[in-house]
Chain A
């Protein structure tokens, strides 16, 4: 079943090309870029259909969707950047069909821009040949190196807007070390595993080496190895297996920007929107969440995300950790595996969030999957929020246990 329901669920309502294709040069003799081809074609299809660009809800392109959304000033609720070669665009239409059928979006944009001749020999890549990311062009000179160098700006702005401090956020580090001490697979399980292992104190966090003020080493996630996999199946199959299903009760996604240069409010991410979508689908709210798995690339990421998810008032996300609510035995356990700060962070931490949420809600943590016990909560609901890029994109899930 399934596929038949999609038939005729959506139609292609317009199709246009960039202004000059083939072997183009613009009026000043410059080569036309991949980005120009994208933007011209998008403008042209908007004119053709009468659909304003601002009405586009979903963006589909071969690896360039975030850049396109940012260039257009859009905050799409559906992002698909599947890049599997020349057939990517057929696959985009398929995915758009499913998204429209599901009621997630009404209007999808599939875009292509590839200066294959103008920049021949210039290499491929998601942006198309020869394309310089315009955000990178205007930030590359300024001595930032990796995520911490940028996230530090968000923390300073949080200090300014809400009167918070390094110490407030340090509690998040301390609590994740507490969780890590309950997880033998955590990199920071104990001092035997790492000199930086748990337990640690707030003072330890403040005294640690500065990476990018106000972020000290202990405000920053680990860099480690990880592999994870998740299977999603329809209910009949889910009920037939030996595992307890964990239901995807709500889901939402959004983005704010691609480059943090374009972040409107350094203390707020698109998780406010992605979680609103997810909660609405679930018919549940933050007050119903019995635990949370929150992407904690840095303490600031976790703190502000807790605010975006409605788990704490604006400016007060850190209090969940400081007051012990997020800690072992607290009323809303957060990051029960030890988080990206103390368990494991391989670069893209979102899979670790999913694995831990499943372990807790499916009761497989009790079964000792992978030979490790680790049931930390009795929670039957969990909000899971991944943050990608530089506080750029967010995906929120509301998961519920089968025994709820």
Chain B
């Protein structure tokens, strides 16, 4: 089925990120001077104000920081209610927003803050892949 949810406005400074998603990579901006990863991508390091920035390939792993269960939505998302929106603490540092998969939205009390999660990518159109996060399968670890 064709992707029917909003596709984000493409910024002018994030090409490496979006190209990374096409290759299944989570590219993150890092400051070469203070070595910190920040999210969202910036033109200047928000920690030390260096403009000496680079893109690195992230691990695609993190932990659930907080979440909510959306019961009221519009457009394509309305067909999916209820669903879980969430903020993910990246293993590399800083935080990313997502829709969290692999959880039961009807049992929010069973969703645990701190749960291990990992990224996956969904193709939205010919050149856009959108990152989503899913509760990690820890059984093999």
Contacts and interface: CB of A to CB of B under 8 A. Distances in A.
Interface in A132-150: 132, 134-145, 148-150
Interface in A151-168: 152-157, 160
Contacts of A156: 66-68, 108, 113
A143 B51 contact: no
A136 B10 CA distance: 10
A54 B49 contact: yes
B113 to A, nearest CB: 4
B40 A134 contact: yes
Interface string B82-100: 1101110000000111110
A73 B46 contact: yes
B43 A36 contact: yes
Contacts of B99: 142-143
B55 interface: no
Interface in B15-46: 39-46
Nearest to B112: A160
- Which secondary structure dominates where chain B touches chain A? loop
Contacts of B51: 39, 43
A143 B113 CA distance: 20
Contacts of B140: none
Interface residues of A, number: 52
A141 B83 CA distance: 13
Nearest to B72: A211
Contact of A213 (B69, B98, B113): B69
B66 A71 contact: no
B3 to A, nearest CB: 10
A28 B6 CA distance: 28
A31 interface: yes
Interface of A: 30-31, 33, 35-36, 39-40, 42-43, 46, 52-54, 70-73, 130, 132, 134-145, 148-150, 152-157, 160, 209-215, 259, 261-262, 266
Q: 5 tightest CB-CB pairs across the interface, nearest first?
A: A73-B46, A152-B68, A213-B69, A157-B66, A143-B77
Interface of B: 5-14, 39-47, 49, 51, 65-74, 77, 80, 82-83, 85-87, 95-99, 108, 113, 124, 130
11 contacts: A35-B12, A35-B13, A42-B44, A43-B51, A132-B10, A132-B12, A138-B97, A153-B85, A209-B71, A210-B69, A210-B71
